[in-house]
Structure 1
Amino acid sequence: MEQIAYSQEVRDLLVACDLPVADLLDNGDVCFFGFRQESELLGVIGVEVRGDYGLLRSLAISAAHRGNGLGQKLVRFSEEWATRFNLKALYLLTTTANGFFEKLGYEKLPRSKAPSAIIETQQFLSLCPDSSIFMGKGLGANQVLH
């Protein structure tokens, strides 16, 4: 795992996984982490930092490498990174992966419980449909979601 820059390679993987990319080119608040095998990018995840909180986004695993635990490793790596940077909680929006994230300790939350910093993101405001499930997980010693 390593921190990586947003690039055409990252964009191509996100697009292949049907994830939104419209706001990423100009969004310096998103830190990406990836896993490579030789020169191939197998998986990527992003954390959009918003004050004391992070929006977990853009978890994408290449089709040939799904089902081997790489997604869990990327999420854990992101959580450790966010904890080191003193973020209080990570949030996310998903239409298909709520079961995956529940197994990793994320809980479903009403959108009304989202911190204003998360509500103001493009992902929350317009990129993810209203039918998306909002989830969160407290980090660090406090394990606080709001």
Structure 2
Amino acid sequence: MEQVAYSQDIDALLVACDLPIDDLRDNNNVCFFGLRHESGLMGVIGIEVCGDFGLLRSFAISAANRGNGLGQKLVAFSEEWATRSNIKALYLLTTTADTFFERLGYEELSRSEAPRNIAETSQFAGLCPDSSTFMCKALGSNHALHRTSRRARR
């Protein structure tokens, strides 16, 4: 697992997984982490740094490498990097992986609870559909960041 530069390999994997790429080429705020093998890029995840917060995005595993725990490893690696980078919380939008992220400690939030710098990203403001599930995980000592999450209100 390593930090990787945005490349044609990342572009191709994201497209193959039906993930948006429109804003990535010129976005210097996204740090990518991936795992390569002789056969190419096995998986990738990005963190768009938004001040004290990060937007987890561009999470993709090649079809041949799904189901072997690589996704959990990529998320854990990105969370460790974010913690070392003093990011207080990671947010994400998903249309398909909410159960996966819930198992990893992410909680569903209302989109209205998004910090301004997350809500202003192109990912949040337009690339992801309104039907996407919005989730958050506080990092480090910030565990009480969102006490009003849906899970806490249930």
Q: TM-score, normalised by structure 1?
A: 0.98
**CA shift for structure 1 position 36:** 1.0
Measured against aligned partners, the alpha-carbon deviations of 1:68-121 in whole angstroms (never above 9, x if no partner) come to 000000000000000000000000000000000000000000011100010000
- Tell me the secondary structure at the aligned position of residue 24 of structure 2: coil
- Tell me the secondary structure at the aligned position of residue 71 of structure 1: helix
Distance in 2, matches of 1:38 and 1:143, equals 39
- Tell me the secondary structure at the aligned position of residue 75 of structure 1: helix
Q: Which residue of 1 aligns with 2:61?
A: 61
**Structure 1 moving runs of 4+ over 3 Å:** none
Q: TM-score, normalised by structure 2?
A: 0.93
1:136/1:145 contact within 8 Å kept: no
**CA shift for structure 1 position 144:** 4.3
Structure 2: 5+ residue stretches without partners: 147-154
Q: Which residue of 2 aligns with 1:108?
A: 108
Q: Is 2:16 the counterpart of 1:8?
A: no
- Tell me the secondary structure at the aligned position of residue 74 of structure 1: helix
2:89/2:142 contact within 8 Å kept: no
Structure 1: 5+ residue stretches without partners: none
* One-letter amino acid of the counterpart of residue 24, structure 2: L
Alignment size in residue pairs: 146
Distance in 2, matches of 1:116 and 1:137, equals 17
RMSD of equivalent CA atoms? 0.9
